[in-house]
Structure 1
Amino acid sequence: MSWDDAQLSRRTLIGTVWAAPVVLAAVAAPLAAASTNQRFTATPAGPYDVTGPPGTLYYLDLVNDGTTTLAPRAITAIASVDPDRFTWYGPGGLDWDEIPSTDPTTVTLTNRFGLAPGTFFSFYFLAASTDRSASPTPDLQLTFLAPGYEPLMFTLAIPY
């Protein structure tokens, strides 16, 4: 069949070209709606100066403000650690497991249990400054991640 035999009119061709963006927009709209990020919320309490071992204690409740129940191991907490400026003693409680790593500047944790919408996990950790008189005070970067959720990030001073 030759081009002349196809009976393809200019009007048909132009109509098809103009319809393509409408079809693409109709397909893209539901995909964009489905990818809306959900959120965690938390307000850290601290720093608290504690003894045995001495250090800086922070506490927060990580609230699932989304509409999705997060399964065990779906949430990742990443702490950026400076081993020259402070010692990481780790999280407390039963809600978190540390993922082994060979990188001394990063601690990665994951949740042990599911987290339903509107509920929370308690998260607390202890870190100790190697020099309490250091200026500036060392900071720890703490980030919570989960699929479909906006990252939640904190910069927390480690003065004790």
Structure 2
Amino acid sequence: MRIPPFVFQLLYRIRRAYWRIAKPTTYGVKALIIHPVDSDRVLLVQHSYGDRSLWSLPGGGYRPARETPEQAARRECIEELGIEVDSFTLVLEEHPTTSAGKRGHLTIIRLHAISDEISPNGEISQARWVATDLTDLPGEPMVSKWVHSALRAHGPV
């Protein structure tokens, strides 16, 4: 069953309100996914919630007691994009974060896709393979600071 985008929008608002009240420590992962044939292309997404015009890296939250950042990145790739990645992962960066009243820890992981076929779920409004210089994004795109940070850390594959 495909979850409609408005459900993700509602859950996003509820989660942000909770963060303002509870001020939890959260753990998140972002995945810089390298194209299976062209290492100068990466997969970027626009979410169906939050700032929907922002191009970002796929990813999500995880609980360190249940999975590693690498396992979480793989899981998020399958859940959000229906994309399989190979077993090699590389932690590019780790960042302490503060947002919406919470304290967080973000890990950026580099993964290599096995196929360029993507099948986004309702959480993703758009996904596309783009050049690492971002020149083939449409119009004057807004791009997440985490995309720029991951691409700087990425270097040659």
- Could you state the TM-score of these two structures normalised by the residue count of structure 2? 0.24
Asked which structure has the greater CA Rg, the reply is: 1
Structure with bigger RCO (C-alpha 8 Å, 6+ apart): 2
Higher helix fraction (1 or 2): 2
